[in-house]
Structure 1
Amino acid sequence: MSTLDQSTIRQLDGEHLDRIFSDKASGKDQERPELEALIDFVRDGDTVMVHSMDRLARNLDDLRAIVRRLTDQKVQVRFVKENLTFTGDDTAMATFMLSVMGAFAEFERALIRERQREGISLAKKAGVYKGRGKALNAERTAELIRRAAAGDAKAALARDFGISRQTVYQYLRAGRTR
């Protein structure tokens, strides 16, 4: 799920589900543990229900690859919002619909990103966009740098400070340039 208002419960409300797999990582990411767990879990004859195509993948190539991977296992893939089901025995029209609807979802996502960038640019020009606040205050930053210098593992630091490893590295780089 990408935002707080996108809840699995709301997305598949009223559907009977035996098990729910929900990645917290964005659909654009290739590394999605819950997607891999789903693919390992499903068996011949199962149906995977997805709220919409853009929840499963953010680009057409990934969407087609994931659907193909599931249908090769004899698993149906049902997209609730688009009211489409894919079985692997799909007609040329079904394959076309997957491509067209997937392309629309990818295009819509690109438009959203473009509008977001434009909005941020306008807000910066108007002086109202300050960006995201710092994750750590000066005291916590100093502690992070001190512990990293003492040899603490970056992954442990990330967990302890409630930030990503990438953010740990950003703070360490910034600390070196002071």
Structure 2
Amino acid sequence: MIKGYARVSTEHQNLNRQLKALKEAGAEYIYQEKVSGATSEREELQKMLEELNEGDTVIVSDLTRISRSTNDLFQLVELIKSKGASLKSIKDKWLDTSDDSAYSEFLFTVFAGISQLERNLIKERQAEGIAIAKQNGKYKGRVKKYHEKNDALNHAIELYLNRSENGLSATEIVKRTQISRSALYRGLKERGIN
């Protein structure tokens, strides 16, 4: 069975492009999630790995969707191969573990290292650019997601302030408004509400 895996880092990002590519590549079932790749708490990835059977193929749009680092990719490939399954990437054509030849193994190792190097260089350039912008007084940092004009945050604060009348707990409020508990408490603190 061909099993697809799609991931974006935040709730506000869209999976449609990946889903379309995976379906066109023959994915019969697609595991999908909206969670940062930096965390190992990727429930759908874990579920997919548990449900892998011998002969299955895992397909991803590109390797950054499934792995956080070269080391993480190597561990995932070993786990997938230990189950008798294989891994393919649509974008990274070199990532195809269905061929067990020494040449394929060598190419996989080299290209995985190159991909990691590319990610590290991007991070370095980004850090250098931020440092220069800070020196020139032009760096303002990341735009806050939950600012004072954010409707969801304002609604959550309103519900929190009226919780004695509406009977909602903080947990119920964050579920209803789809904001994080930390964002709610940060918003309250910024407004001087304890």
The question of a shared fold, defined as TM-score above 0.5 by the shorter chain, is answered with yes
Does residue 143 (structure 1) correspond to residue 158 (structure 2)? The answer is yes
1:38 matched to which residue of 2?
Answer: 48
Give the CA deviation at 1:63.
0.7
2:142 matched to which residue of 1?
Answer: 131
CA distance in 2, matches of 1:177, 1:15: 52
CA distance in 1, matches of 2:103, 2:147: 53
Query: Structure 2 residue aligned with 1:73, among 64, 79, 83?
Result: 83
Contact 1:144 1:157 in 2 (8 A): yes
Give the CA deviation at 1:173.
5.5
* Alignment-mate amino acid for residue 58 of structure 1: R
Give the CA deviation at 1:72.
0.7
Q: 1:14 to 1:140 in 2, by over 3 A?
A: closer
1:21 matched to which residue of 2?
Answer: 31
Query: Structure 2 residue aligned with 1:160, among 176, 180, 187?
Result: 176
Contact 1:28 1:58 in 2 (8 A): yes
CA distance in 1, matches of 2:122, 2:86: 30
Give the CA deviation at 1:141.
6.7
Query: Structure 2 residue aligned with 1:170, among 169, 178, 186?
Result: 186
CA distance in 2, matches of 1:64, 1:146: 49
1:59 matched to which residue of 2?
Answer: 69
Q: Deviations over 1:3-38 (max 9, x none)?
A: 558721354363111011122113222111111121
> Which ranges in structure 2 are unaligned for 5 or more consecutive residues?
1-7
3-state SS of the aligned residue for 1:20? strand
Equivalenced residue count is 176
3-state SS of the aligned residue for 1:23? strand
Give the CA deviation at 1:58.
2.0
State which drifts further: 117-126 or 53-62. Answer: 117-126
3-state SS of the aligned residue for 2:79? helix
CA distance in 1, matches of 2:112, 2:39: 16
State which drifts further: 57-66 or 120-129. Answer: 120-129
Give the CA deviation at 1:70.
1.1
CA distance in 2, matches of 1:118, 1:34: 35
Query: In angstroms, what is the RMSD of aligned CA positions?
Result: 3.4
Q: 1:106 to 1:28 in 2, by over 3 A?
A: farther
After TM superposition, the score normalised by the length of structure 1 is: 0.74
After TM superposition, the score normalised by the length of structure 2 is: 0.69
3-state SS of the aligned residue for 1:157? helix
Query: Structure 1 residue aligned with 2:97, among 62, 72, 86?
Result: 86
Structure having the higher strand fraction is: 2
- Percent identity (aligned): 27
